[in-house]
Structure 1
Amino acid sequence: MPAASANSQSEPSPVPEPTGKGPVPRSGRDRPGRAAPRLTAQERRTAAERAERRAATLKRLEKSSGKLATAAISRMDDQLGWYRRMPPEHRSWIGLVAQAGIAAFTEWYRHPESAKAISTDVFGTAPRELTRAITLRQTVELIRTTIEVMEEAIEEVAAPGDEADMRESVLVYAREIAFATAQVYAQAAEARGAWDARLEALVVNSLLSGDADEGVLSRAAALGWGQPSQIRVVMGSAPDGDSELVVEAIRRAARYAKLHVLTGVLGKRLVVVVGGEKEPVQAARALIGQFAPGPVVVGPTVPDLLSATRSAHAAAAGLRACAAWPDAPRPVLADDLLPERALAGDQAARRQLVEEIYTPLDEAGSALLETLSVYLEQASSLEGAARMLFVHPNTVRYRLRRVTDVTGYAPSDVRSAFTLRIALALGRLTDAGEPG
């Protein structure tokens, strides 16, 4: 019995005969996952002949590569006017590109299973210099010219019977080299964009820190900044997310509004230097959608970029002081925040209030200062001020109109009255010898 058992394990089970009532079980050779069936003799001969033709074409292609490159450059000189006008150094770069492209095609034709040869290396050792020397449109033209030369040489270069295969290879290569071209210029554009963003942030930071000099003007000019006659700085909170997207959104909005801008995200603040003929608030409204919720302050208008530091300092001081005026409009002018800025310790705002309000009133005569002071102390009551001054209410009314003419602030307006009161207090402190 043991022997019989061993024998039964070693012999393969018989394959059942087909009965016509179900699928025939697969043999081991028919099961999936096995090696592919062997080629027939005819198929082997065809493959061998194709390999021989390809090898012969490859040898002829290697011998003709220099001739093809020369022909491509000659055709560029004949057909492309911009190529003829280029300096010799740039033409030499293009010649290197043509030679590298044909050499890369030869290498790819030798190893078609590898796509390594079809890459940005086709554009030589200095693709950045190439993208600076010629535009994308010009690069497309030189590649098209080179491919046309290669297509016309197929009958001469390809081994007999291999013309169709080589033509198909040239078409595939042309498609891949087009993608490589797009990649080179996309990378160059990204590099330029990143560099421009850093340079722009440096310019904005220099203006904000007060380090602006002639070098800032040259850097701004390199960024395409013109020479607008009216410049102001707009400042607010930066939104969350990618700062590059924020800066690009500001640029789009500025182009639509026909404004010049230099933009930077400095910490949590979004700073925009705006140039253009629009009114300050109108210009800020064109860009305000890109700021985070919260106050947006517009600095005073200045005539040139070097003076923008003053506008930036005023906008920054206004942004810090905005908490004292919760109902401030958005955007708000930094000059409309003078009293809050003065209370927050901004010396420039204190001097401006004294110089633009207190001093002109003092020079206009003591009656205006006295009338304004009494009017404010009497809770803006004409009759009360008239009784305290022993004059007719119309006299008070006339003097208050004179105050408006001299300062630009109407004492009857609540907000203006607050500004006038702060200016009077600071002026008196200055007269008393206290630091203003």
Structure 2
Amino acid sequence: MTTDVPGVTDVSDAADAGAPVPELSATARALVARCAPRVNALARLMSRDAFEQLRGYAELPTEVKDVEIAATARHGLRLFLERVVHDPRTGPGDLDFFRERATQRAEEGMPLHLLLTTHCVGVRVLWQALCEAARPGEDAALAELAGCLLGAEQRIVSAVTETYPDEQAALAAERREERRSLVRGLLAGTSPPSDGSRLDGPSLVLSVQLPDGPRAPVAARRAVRRLQAALDRAFSREVLTLLDGAGGRAIVPGRVPLPDDLAVLLDDACGPGVRLAAVPTEQVTEIPEAARTAALIVRVARACGHPAGLHRLDDVLLEYQLSRPSAGSDRIAALLDPVAARPELIETLRTHLEQAQDRRATARLLTLHANTVDNRLARVSTLTGLDLSTPRGTALALAALLLRDAEEPGPDPNDRP
């Protein structure tokens, strides 16, 4: 605890810089001097008795209570007494000790409300000691010291509340980055599971695609938070994720069932139109392939016009197989070479297939007239030789799109934020 000017006054930058402040009366300084021999006893009273009454304090480690918190109490008491008796100036480093302790408490997970309450209780204990030491006729001196205590408490609480949240934010960012690094490594097949991660056995790997594609930074962060929270609730555990505003990957440790209402829960959290696929694994080495499979299932399901929601491999078994590389893959993909430089034709073809060849739905999504859609599809048929009115022509066009998509470098899980 540090002293400020006598009475209740604002804390100024000048005081923080060590500028002189009005001195206390000789009576007030004499009263404080009488309490000086009680510093150690008062510190023990604070850390062992007064603080023990606070909810949550008893759960703190013994060494924290008996050593570190007691040392903080002694430091505060001595600083207050020295400032009042010997030097009524507040030094620029007076609050550094309390900032350091606030950082330590944040690292240990001590709740901020409990930390601040210990400071307030400490002020009350010191005030009671001053009242007990006061002699008849020293009421004015007590009033002076009350102002000092209130000013000191204000400065300490301000320093702690500035430091503690900053440290918590830094720790949270560090933990998030550690988790992202772990997931990146698991998806790339380069990181063994850390002890206690439960990832050395079965797991469930998900690929999630959010509606509307990329978002602005603020909206993307909001979408990531909502998606993370929805996944944690759905699986009743902390889900490892690597997400951005467009979706991403998730790894659920353990042999967990896939909730039947998972797609509904994600729609409620992120908006309608969420697509996802899940692939179970038996061991950690299977995670990279499972992630690729889940992502491809989502891509194929969208390309085939399946409604948004949960996609299973059995739902797109034929289309999935069509998208797999084979001896004829290059020739099938090359069927669309004649329109490769016409993105509007490729987009129309893709949307038409996604919409189950519904020309009106295609026109609505592309904000075109239905006749324009017909003209573009006719142009695709003329340039490529694919008859989109036949099952075979449609299947070849779909396979060509899927194979061309597979050739294009998609988002690398290691590059996701």
Q: 1:244 to 1:66 in 2, by over 3 A?
A: farther
Q: Among 95, 99, 124, which residue is 1:148 paired with?
A: 124
Structure-2 residue corresponding to 1:378: none
Q: 1:202 to 1:62 in 2, by over 3 A?
A: same
Q: Would the aligned equivalents of 2:224 and 2:244 in 1 still touch at CA under 8 Å?
A: no
2:173 aligned with 1:200, yes or no? no
Alignment of 1:155-170 (within 5 A): 155-156=131-132, 160=138, 161-170=140-149
With normalisation by structure 2, the TM-score equals: 0.55
Q: Among 217, 221, 224, which residue is 1:247 paired with?
A: 224
Quote the Cα distance in structure 2 between the aligned partners of 1:290 and 1:248. 10
Q: Would the aligned equivalents of 2:207 and 2:278 in 1 still touch at CA under 8 Å?
A: yes
Structure-1 residue corresponding to 2:108: 132
Cα-to-partner distance string for 1:149-195 (whole Å, 9 max, x where unaligned) = 20211225568331022123324433554454444442343223212
Q: 1:117 to 1:48 in 2, by over 3 A?
A: closer
2:207 aligned with 1:234, yes or no? yes
Q: Would the aligned equivalents of 1:100 and 1:122 in 2 still touch at CA under 8 Å?
A: no
Q: Secondary structure at the match of 1:312?
A: helix
Q: 1:211 to 1:57 in 2, by over 3 A?
A: same
Structure-2 residue corresponding to 1:264: 242
Structure-2 residue corresponding to 1:94: 69
Q: Which amino acid aligns with 2:262?
A: A
Q: Among 250, 255, 259, which residue is 1:279 paired with?
A: 259
Q: 1:211 to 1:169 in 2, by over 3 A?
A: same
Name the larger-Rg structure. 1
Deviation for aligned residue 1:59:
4.9
Q: Would the aligned equivalents of 1:239 and 1:290 in 2 still touch at CA under 8 Å?
A: no
Q: Secondary structure at the match of 1:279?
A: coil
Quote the Cα distance in structure 2 between the aligned partners of 1:115 and 1:169. 15
How many residues get paired? 301
Cα-to-partner distance string for 1:324-379 (whole Å, 9 max, x where unaligned) = 32x222134251344444444358xx9xxxxxxxxxxxxxxxxxxxxxxxxxxxxx
Structure-2 residue corresponding to 1:29: none
Q: Which amino acid aligns with 2:250?
A: V
Cα-to-partner distance string for 1:296-316 (whole Å, 9 max, x where unaligned) = 331323456664434311122
Q: Among 296, 299, 308, which residue is 1:330 paired with?
A: 308
Deviation for aligned residue 1:129:
5.4
Quote the Cα distance in structure 1 between the aligned partners of 2:319 and 2:184. 25
Q: Which amino acid aligns with 1:151?
A: W
Quote the Cα distance in structure 1 between the aligned partners of 2:223 and 2:245. 13
Q: Which amino acid aligns with 2:249?
A: V
Q: Which amino acid aligns with 1:264?
A: L
Quote the Cα distance in structure 1 between the aligned partners of 2:169 and 2:107. 12
Q: Which amino acid aligns with 2:231?
A: A
2:49 aligned with 1:75, yes or no? yes
Q: Secondary structure at the match of 2:217?
A: coil
Quote the Cα distance in structure 2 between the aligned partners of 1:288 and 1:235. 11
Quote the Cα distance in structure 2 between the aligned partners of 1:133 and 1:297. 36
Quote the Cα distance in structure 2 between the aligned partners of 1:138 and 1:183. 15
With normalisation by structure 1, the TM-score equals: 0.53
Q: Would the aligned equivalents of 1:69 and 1:98 in 2 still touch at CA under 8 Å?
A: yes
